[in-house]
Chains A and B, each alone.
Chain A
């Protein structure tokens, strides 16, 4: 159930999600937050078991903070995605997988990045990605509208469009849209 989308732009990254949490054929919640901010430069969009995702996010949030304090500069988006994927992988190998599909989105010194991470522990770097039961419909919108020169404002509109298209036809998605924009870091320029 769920529809989440992530788009990489020249100016940063954009995440979008619906707000429905399903309990079988029943709508368990109409105001679910499926986009979790890890900090000001990184966020995760959740599809799948919410409890599993919450746990993964809590652990990776703590781990990321610890490493930043220890080494003095933050993890890159890829390092963070690998951290989360390793947790997911160890879950799978212990026959207690975390039932999640996550979009890890954030900005670092190199700009914006989107990674799709799933319960198998694999991560793939994407320009745009979607997950959840509504993703085939969302992908239809993304595939036809995404281009390399996209801005954050455009991506916001495309993300909204993709999620709302999915909400129209996917019974597992609905009840409104959340969008999060993470703009690129303002890099210090030598004076």
Chain B
């Protein structure tokens, strides 16, 4: 046990010398380089916004806001391929719930499922998924907004930012957040947050769900 420090370099998928999971930290680092992505929740609606990185003229940009089920939407930051796989996992779980219980799944259960799905990648010698996901929806308990990270951690809240310069974006949201803003104001706020984070006028994809129609819809 005297050479415990060496194990870190021999088995990179286990704990590093500081007691951190090296691969999970790397996955989080990959997410930090992803496109800036935001989730905002007020008492009457929840909004997802994701920066779309400029691509070449003839290539269509990738879709970043996803409908999971009628009442739930999600977006992510990190490797697109990993995000898509997690989105598929969420959609599958939502339909499984409909099959088993004949009712729409609650957002908390979705976040929890995604958390344990991701956690599974942290206990074996495999590559953890380099994607954080923000889930928004309306269920029996009302409006819900969750963030799920590659470590399997999931958080409930009213404002999240992930991806490139997410700290700056989150600061902007925290500063300007108000419970009684309108959808348009929230869209403007997310635009402002992403603009501040990136230092340029961004192309942003937005999705919204309100307590009135309870359907997740992509804007534009």
Contacts and interface: CB of A to CB of B under 8 A. Distances in A.
A109 B100 CA distance: 20
Interface stretch (B16-24, B105-113, B157-165, B207-215): B105-113
Given A71-B106, A72-B108, A82 B140 contact: no
Interface stretch (A42-50, A51-59, A73-81, A169-177): A73-81
Given A71-B106, A71-B108, A72-B108, A83 B101 contact: yes
B141 interface: yes
Interface in B50-109: 99-103, 106, 108-109
A78 B109 contact: no
Given A70-B112, A71-B108, A78 B140 contact: no
A82 B101 contact: yes
Contacts of A76: 103
B71 to A, nearest CB: 15
A72 B144 CA distance: 13
Contacts of A75: 101
Contact of A79 (B103, B109, B141): B103
B102 A70 contact: no
Interface in B16-47: none
Contact of B102 (A71, A72, A78, A109): A78
Contacts of A33: none
Interface string A69-97: 01111011011001100100000000000
A83 B141 contact: no
Nearest to B98: A82
- Give the interface residue-count category, chain B: 10 to 19
Contact of B109 (A70, A82, A86, A109): A70
A71 B109 contact: yes
Contact of A72 (B99, B100, B141): B141
B103 A83 contact: no
Contacts of A109: 140
A72 B108 CA distance: 9
A79 B102 contact: yes
B108 A82 contact: no
A170 to B, nearest CB: 33
Contacts of A72: 108, 141
25 contacts: A70-B109, A70-B112, A71-B106, A71-B108, A71-B109, A72-B141, A73-B106, A73-B140, A73-B141, A75-B101, A76-B103, A78-B102, A78-B103, A79-B101, A79-B102, A79-B103, A82-B100, A82-B101, A82-B102, A82-B103, A83-B100, A83-B101, A86-B99, A86-B100, A109-B140
Interface of B: 99-103, 106, 108-109, 112, 140-141
